[in-house]
Structure 1
Amino acid sequence: MIGWYVHHHGYGHVARFRAVQPHLRERVRVFSSLPRPDGPDDEVEWIVLPGDADTVERADGAVCDPRDADPTVRGALHWAPHDHPGHRARLARIAAHTEDLRVFVTDVSAEVVAFTRLLGLRTVAVTQPGERTDPAHSLAYDLADRILAPWAHGAVPAGALSPRTDRVVWTGGISRHDGRVADAADAERSVLFLGRALDDDVRRAAEQQLAAAGWRTRAIGHDAASRVDDPWSLLTSHTVVVSAAGQNSVADLAAAGARAVVVAQDRPFDEQRHTARALHRWNLARVAPEGVDAAGVAALVEAAATDDPDWSRWQVAGAAERAAEAVEAMLP
């Protein structure tokens, strides 16, 4: 059996797992703070972990705010607060369910990589773009038996991986939409605003300017009411898609062959800025400047409408299978 840690921030980590899992021959046991989502088949076990970032009251009545409890261990780790019962229970729950595991995949947590390796498990660390040369990432990459980089080799510079290339597998961008057939494009000019790539006021103003110029607009995923479980037909039928530069978003754009405008979000280690620069360098998308306004967005959409990006360079085709093969190659 394979263990798989799914980080609970956003939807990207669980989406990546859901794309890879159908290609695994071994059964999987997932560990996550997220509740079990719809989608994984019944063979997938899902163990919900206690939270470790909330303020709690200890048995002696003292209040524990993990942010004030040396969570980074003087910069050596990312999150390991003193005296937090959730943090302790979380690691105990992982350890209690590892006896029958043959390999453990972590997407993503430096501490879980270190912990599972200390348990003697074969470890696979999923990495992301950005300046990840800090001590905690370096420790995780040094300890991991294999490192999965879910983007095309050479696309995004990753200095932290350079000394460890013998253990890195660049899978290409992993998208749940790989292999799907695109819907026919709309005859009229249309733009899809995907997720919270822009502040609401900037997006609404851009929609107004584009509508005045003859564009049909639609926005999805910017709040709970606008979420769409399967946006594939929208991704493939609109003339231009405006999106953030997260790994899953970019892989989905590549799978759809979309003309795109990407807006890099402020993320730890400058992950999305690194990805956006790669997209610009390879002429795969128009990249919005920092603080872009509505007029700037509208101009980028107009420019992107005539683009012909070669998204095959992002190597989405077969990426989920390659990730599954890399994990199962670690099985004893």
Structure 2
Amino acid sequence: MTGGTGPGATSGTIVYYVHHHGSGHAHRAAAIAAHCRTPVVGVGSRPAPYGWPGAWHELPLDTGGGDTAETADVTAGGTLHWVPRHHDGLRARTAAVSALLAAGPARLLVADVSVEIALLARLHGVPVAVVAQPGERLDRAHRTVYDLAEVLLAPWPADPPRPWRPELTGRTVHLGGLSRYDDRTARPGPGRRRVLVLTGSGDGGADPAALAAAASATPDWTWRVAGGLTGALRDAPPNLACAGWTGEVWAELQDADVVVGHAGQNVVAEIAAARRAAVVVPAERPYGEQVATGAVLRAAGLATVRDRWPAPADWPGVLDEAMSRGGAGWSRWSDGRAAERAAAVLDGIAA
């Protein structure tokens, strides 16, 4: 653990749990925490995100050790999502969060996202704000955590609408798309027929063979990949390059005319902040998360959405369609104030 330890460390604070999968949870949490007036203490399985404004507690991992009879039934009969039996890491992790919550007490815990951490906080008498996720969240664990939340923070706009449990409407705050770049000013695209393929750290990367085929089919476009690949890029055509992982995705976004990405909340929000024409290909995710977001984007006409990676012969038309659509419509998705909006809600509950 780093910083903020000891009795009273969480008195008058917001405890913010950040899930370790991908980078979107961390980017979103850091953006919101930076706008909070109430001190924020972060907890998660990774080191503190870049720009984290307060104390951070790195938790023991609750994974590893193999799937044995001792650790089986990780969902407790479908009641929760991840509670492997007799797991030392889970026990240490839960104890660490309990100690933190008991030291203050904290005024509020934000879960982005964990059913188990949210439930643990509420069992300590600490109110919980839950970051909502798209898709069919109708399993017992999701229903429980959404029902116990003081507020649900939805990082997408109320319009265009999407299916949502009616009884949750009064406790749901639609923030709009939220990214680490919401304070930046987007400039017009360069008009040089440049494609940026944006991959997330939680999606495994782009298929190099599919990229090479797409670039070969569109020789009048320049392709660039920001993020990872699922394998080595061999025999790449001259109009395809890979930047790898970069800490400054904004510059890559600004240099592109069309951005190709999946339908994860963070990738969509970054494209929206940059106001770029987009081709969105939803990836398979639990609960149909990205398929749900892709359907909303398609219905609203905000992006060119394809259910699967287009065939090489289809790419010229796909890119032309995206360019014709443009990126100005993203102002409906993101107004640049989502993090401020979230922080105001959290400060209000913690007051």
Q: TM-score, normalised by structure 2?
A: 0.86
Secondary structure in structure 2 of the residue aligned to 1:52: coil
- Output one character per residue of 1:272-328: Cα deviation in whole Å (capped at 9) or x when no partner: 110011111111000112353333344311221111341111133211100111111
5 Å matches for 1:241-252? 241-252=259-270
1:172 aligns with 2:176: yes
**Post-superposition shift, 1:184?**
4.8
What is aligned with 1:329? 348
Question: Which of residues 336, 340, 346 in structure 2 aligns to 1:317?
Answer: 336
Partner of residue 89, structure 1? 92
Tell me which residue corresponds to 1:216.
222
Instruction: Tell me if the contact between 1:51 and 1:90 (Cα under 8 Å) persists in the aligned partners.
Output: yes
Q: Which moved more, 1:289-298 or 1:21-30?
A: 289-298
**Partner secondary structure for residue 20 of structure 1:** helix
Q: How does 1:15-26 map to 2 (within 5 A)?
A: 15-26=27-38
Cα distance in 1 for partners of 2:119, 2:20 equals 18
Change in CA separation of 1:260 and 1:95 when aligned onto 2, cut-off 3 Å: same
> Which residue identity does 1:55 align to in structure 2?
G
Partner of 1:107: 112
For the residues of structure 1 that align with 2:179 and 2:40, how far apart are their CA atoms? 19
Q: Could you tell me how far 1:233 is from its partner in structure 2?
A: 2.3
State the AA in 2 paired with 1:27.
P
The verdict on how the C-alpha distance between 1:328 and 1:74 changes in structure 2, with shifts beyond 3 A counting, is same
The residue matched to 1:242 in structure 2 has which SS? strand
Residue type matched to 2:89 in 1? G
- TM-score, with length taken from structure 1: 0.91
Q: Which residue of 2 aligns with 1:128?
A: 133
Post-superposition offset of 1:113: 1.0
Select which of 128, 144, 156 maps to 2:149: 144
Matched, 1:229 2:247: yes
Instruction: Determine the C-alpha separation between the residues in 1 that align with 2:217 and 2:243.
Output: 24
The count of residues paired between Structure 1 and Structure 2 equals 320
Other-structure match for 2:22: 10
State which drifts further: 281-290 or 232-241.
232-241
**Gaps spanning 5+ residues in structure 1: where?**
57-63
CA distance in 2 between counterparts of 1:13 and 1:66 reads 32
1:92-130, Cα deviation, whole Å (9 max, x unpaired)? 000111222111100001111111001000110111100
Report the Cα offset of residue 156 of structure 1.
5.1
Report deviation, 1:174. Answer: 0.6
1:45 equivalent among 55, 71, 84: 55
Residue 310 of structure 2 aligns with which residue? 292
Q: Following TM superposition, by how much is the alpha carbon of 1:186 offset from its aligned partner in structure 2, in angstroms?
A: 1.8
Q: Which of residues 61, 78, 100 in structure 2 aligns to 1:75? A: 78
Aligned with residue 204 of structure 1, among 207, 212, 218: 212
Structure-2 separation of matches of 1:297 and 1:177: 28
State the Cα distance separating 1:237 from its structure 2 match: 2.8
Residues of 1 paired with 2:70 and 2:224: CA distance?
40
Give 1:207 deviation, angstroms: 1.6
Confirm or deny: 8 A CA contact 2:224 2:243 kept in the other structure.
no
Distance change in 2, residues 1:153/1:128 (3 Å):
same
Aligned mates of 1:238, 1:5 — CA distance in 2: 34
Residue from 188, 192, 205 that aligns with 2:192: 188
> Which residues of structure 2 form unaligned runs of 5+?
1-12, 230-241
State the match for 1:60 in structure 2: none
Greater Cα shift, 88-97 or 28-37: 28-37
| Contact 2:189–2:276 under 8 Å retained in 1 | no
Q: Distance in 2 between matches of 1:261 and 1:70?
A: 40
Alignment identity in percent?
38
Give the alignment's Cα RMSD to 1 decimal: 1.9
